[in-house]
Amino acid sequence: MNKTEIASRFRDLQLHICQALEELDGKAFFQEDTWEREEGGGGHTRTLQGGRILEKAGVAFSAVHGPVTPAMKQQLGHEGEVFFATGVSIVLHPRHPRHPIMHMNVRYFELEDQTFWFGGGIDLTPHYVDSVKAKHFHEALKATSDTFNPNFYPQFKEWADRYFFLPHRNESRGVGGIFFDQLNEANAGLNKEQLFEYCLALGKLFPVVYKHQVADVALQNPTAAELNWQALRRGRYVEFNLLHDRGTKFGIYSGGRTESILMSMPPMANWVYNQEPEEGSEEQKTLSFLRAFHEFC
Amino acid sequence: MNKTEIASRFRDLQLHICQALEELDGKAFFQEDTWEREEGGGGHTRTLQGGRILEKAGVAFSAVHGPVTPAMKQQLGHEGEVFFATGVSIVLHPRHPRHPIMHMNVRYFELEDQTFWFGGGIDLTPHYVDSVKAKHFHEALKATSDTFNPNFYPQFKEWADRYFFLPHRNESRGVGGIFFDQLNEANAGLNKEQLFEYCLALGKLFPVVYKHQVADVALQNPTAAELNWQALRRGRYVEFNLLHDRGTKFGIYSGGRTESILMSMPPMANWVYNQEPEEGSEEQKTLSFLRAFHEFC
C-alpha cells in the first residue's frame, strides 16, 4: 500500500462519487479540469453547475508533493523536508433550500521518512434543520465508523462539533458529522490498510447518505422566504470557509490553486445587517437550534 | 485635544457623512444601532439599505477601551496594558454596477502612557474601471493630503497599492487609494492636532468624492451582464475582507461586534468556478487592468 496506490484509489473514488451524484441529479454532468503544480504533482477538479438537484458542486482530487514549506512546518508538528499529500474534497450546494449542503474530505499525508497519517470528515449543513434527517445522517456515520473502531464515531463526532462552529456568530455551521486528523497506526489501533479502507468507506457512503437526505423532499417551487433564508445561510457558509476552515486558509495562504480551493463557495450568498428571523418561524427554529447546538449535541 | 474630544468629533464626522450620503441617495435613510462593549465603551452603527444609489451602506462609529488583549499585543509592537480606540469606518455598496464600491476608515489609538497614533485610508473599488474617474479620485486624495504633508500621498498611495491586493487572485481589489497606520508626531512631522485634522479632512472629503464618482453616470437599467459582473466582483470583495483585511480579521478573531464588522459585506455575491470574461469585453478589460495594476500604478 504505497502512496501511488493510495492516490490511484482516491482518484477512482472521485470518479465513483461523481457518477453517483450525476445519477442522483439526473440532469447536469461534471466537467473536469486537470492542473499541475509547479513544485510537483497536480489534480483533477470536477465541477457541476445548474443541475436539477445540485446548483453548484465540486469534487476535487489532488496528489501533490514537494519540499515542506514554512507554513506547513508550523501546522505539522513533525520534522520533515519532503511531503506527499493526496485526497478527495467535496462540497455540494443544492438548488432547493430544503435540501442540505454537504461536505466531505478524505486525505493522506506522508513525509520522506514514511511517517504518514490520514485525515478527513463528513458534515451536514441544512438550511432548515430536520431532526429526523440529522439523526439518520449521524446513524449512518456511526454504523460505518463502528465497523472499523467503535471509538471513532464518538471521538470524531465531538471533534466535528468543536470544529464546525462559528464563534463570531455563536452558531454551529450545521448539524455536525465527523472530523479527524493525523490518524495513524499508533493512535487509531488500526493498520495503514485499514485506515485507508475507512477513508474509502466514508467516501462511498457520501453519495448514499446524500441521496437519503434529498430523497423524500417533494421538489415544490421554493418560496421567496425559503430562497432568502438559503442565501443568508450560504453567507454563513462563506464566512466559515474564509474565516475558519483550516484547509481553505492553509490552501489560500500557501499559494494553492485558488479555483480548486474556492470551488466550495456557494453560487450566491446574501448579507443583511443584523437580520433576525421572525419569532416562531421555521427559520428562527433552525437558528435557535444552531445557537444551542453545543448544549445538546 | 484629549481622547474624549477626538471621539466626540469622530462621532460628529459620522453624522455629517451620513447626512451627506442621504442627500446624495435621495431616498433611503440610515438607521442607528447603539451597542455597548462588556470590557468598556461601545458604538453607534449606522446602516442604510435599499436606497436609490446605495443598495447597502454602513457608517460605523466606535469608541472602546479596556485591557490590551494578547491578540492586540501581537499587533501593537508596543508595551501597554490599557488602550483606548475610536474611529469611523464606512463601506458603500451601490445598486448600479457602473457605480463603485468605496471604503474609508479613520481611527485613533492610545495607550495609558499617552502613546498614540492615527490610522486610516480611503480606497475605491469600481466594478468597471473608468480611468478618468480613477484619476480624479487620486487627484482629490493628493490635493487634500498635500495641504498637510506632501510626502503623505505618495507614501500612503503605495501602502494602499500593497495592501488592497488579493494574492490568491493576483488582482488588485480596485484602483487603490491611500492607506496609513501608526502615524504619530515622530514619523509624520505633524503634531497631534494636525494629524487629527488630516483624518477629519479625509472624512469630509469622502462624500464629496463619492458624489463625483456617481454624478455623471446615467442610471439606465443595468444589463444582465453588468449585474452578473457586479455580483462576481462583490464575491472578490468578500474574499478580500474575510481572508486579508486586517481590521476585519482582528475584529472577528478578537471577539468584536460581528454585525458592525461585517456590515462591510455586500448585499449579495456570486461565485462561478473558473469564470473568465469574454475576450475583448469590458469585463475582461477591467480584469486585465486589476491583474496588471501593480505594473503601472
**Angle A209-A215-A218 from CA coordinates, rounded to 5°:** 150
- Read off φ and ψ for residue B147, nearest 5 degrees: -70, -15
Band (pLDDT 50/70/90 cuts) for residue A75 is: confident
Closest chain A CA to residue B55: A272
How do residues B133-165 score in pLDDT, each as one tens digit? 999 999 999 999 999 999 999 999 999 999 999
Average pLDDT over residues B3-22: 98
What pLDDT sits at residue A77? Answer: 72
What pLDDT sits at residue A20? Answer: 98
State whether A268 and B272 contact (CB < 8 Å). Answer: no
User: Which of A33, A252, A268 is opposite residue B269, by nearest beta carbon?
Assistant: A268
Spatial contact of B108 and B137, defined as CB atoms under 8 Å apart: no
Residue B242 has pLDDT above 90, yes or no: yes
Band (pLDDT 50/70/90 cuts) for residue B239 is: very high
Residues with Cβ within 8 Å of A109's Cβ and at least 6 positions away in sequence, in order, are A83, A84, A85, A116, A117, A118, A119
Band (pLDDT 50/70/90 cuts) for residue B1 is: confident
DSSP state for residue A264 in the 8-state scheme:
G
State whether A267 and B270 contact (CB < 8 Å). Answer: yes
What pLDDT sits at residue A69? Answer: 82
Residue A217 has pLDDT above 70, yes or no: no
Rounded CA separation B143/B152 (Å): 10
Q: Which residues of A touch B273 (CB under 8 A)?
A: 45, 47, 49, 56, 58, 259, 263
C-alpha cell at B214: 456617481
Domains of chain A: total: 1
Rounded CA separation B202/B45 (Å): 20
For testing contact with chain A, the best of B243, B273, B274, B291 (most A CBs within 10 A) = B273
State whether A243 and B262 contact (CB < 8 Å). Answer: no
Residues with Cβ within 8 Å of B243's Cβ and at least 6 positions away in sequence, in order, are A242, A249, A252, B166, B168
Report the CATH number at residue A280: 3.40.1500.10
User: Which of A243, A267, A270 is opposite residue B267, by nearest beta carbon?
Assistant: A270
Spatial contact of A199 and A130, defined as CB atoms under 8 Å apart: no
DSSP state for residue A69 in the 8-state scheme:
P
What pLDDT sits at residue B266? Answer: 98
What pLDDT sits at residue B217? Answer: 65
Average pLDDT over residues A124-131: 96
Structure-derived torsion over alpha carbons of residues B280, B283, B286, B291, reported in degrees to the nearest 10: -90
Spatial contact of B147 and B98, defined as CB atoms under 8 Å apart: no
Pick the more confident residue, B253 or B180: B180
Chain B residues with CB under 8 Å of a chain A CB are 33, 45, 47, 49, 56, 58, 167-169, 231, 235, 238-239, 242-243, 249, 252, 255, 258-259, 261-263, 265-274
How do residues A147-199 score in pLDDT, each as one tens digit? 999 999 999 999 999 999 999 999 999 999 999 999 999 999 999 999 999 99
Q: How far is B86 from chain A (nearest CA, A)?
A: 21
Where in the sequence numbering do the catalytic residues of A fall? 103
Range of the domain at A221: 3-296
Q: How far is A186 from chain B (nearest CA, A)?
A: 34
Q: Which residues of A touch B230 (CB under 8 A)?
A: none
- CA B76, B80, B82, B83 torsion-angle sign: negative
Q: What does the mean pLDDT of chain B come to?
A: 94
Spatial contact of A198 and A173, defined as CB atoms under 8 Å apart: no
Q: How far is A2 from chain B (nearest CA, A)?
A: 32
Q: Which residues of A touch B235 (CB under 8 A)?
A: 265
Q: Note the helical H segments in B30-188.
A: 70-76, 131-146, 152-163, 185-188
Closest chain A CA to residue B239: A242
Band (pLDDT 50/70/90 cuts) for residue B295 is: low
Q: How far is B268 from chain A (nearest CA, A)?
A: 4
- CA A196, A198, A200, A206 torsion-angle sign: negative
Rounded CA separation B129/B213 (Å): 11
HSE-CB of B70 using CA atoms within 13 angstroms? 1
The yes-or-no answer on residue B103 being catalytic is: yes
- Judged by DSSP in three states, B42 sits in strand
Closest chain A CA to residue B243: A242
C-alpha cell at B204: 469630509
User: Which of B169, B261, B268 is opposite residue A268, by nearest beta carbon?
Assistant: B268
Band (pLDDT 50/70/90 cuts) for residue A254 is: confident
Q: How far is A91 from chain B (nearest CA, A)?
A: 13
C-alpha cell at B84: 483606548
Beta-sheet pairing, A177-183 with A171-172? unpaired
HSE-CB of A108 using CA atoms within 13 angstroms? 29
How do residues B73-130 score in pLDDT, each as one tens digit? 877 777 788 999 999 999 999 999 999 999 999 999 999 988 999 999 999 999 999 9
What pLDDT sits at residue A227? Answer: 97
What pLDDT sits at residue B137? Answer: 98
Rounded CA separation B74/A206 (Å): 42
Residue A219 has pLDDT above 90, yes or no: no
State whether B271 and A262 contact (CB < 8 Å). Answer: yes
Residue A295 has pLDDT above 70, yes or no: no
User: What is chain B's alpha carbon radius of gyration, rounded to the nearest angstrom?
Assistant: 19
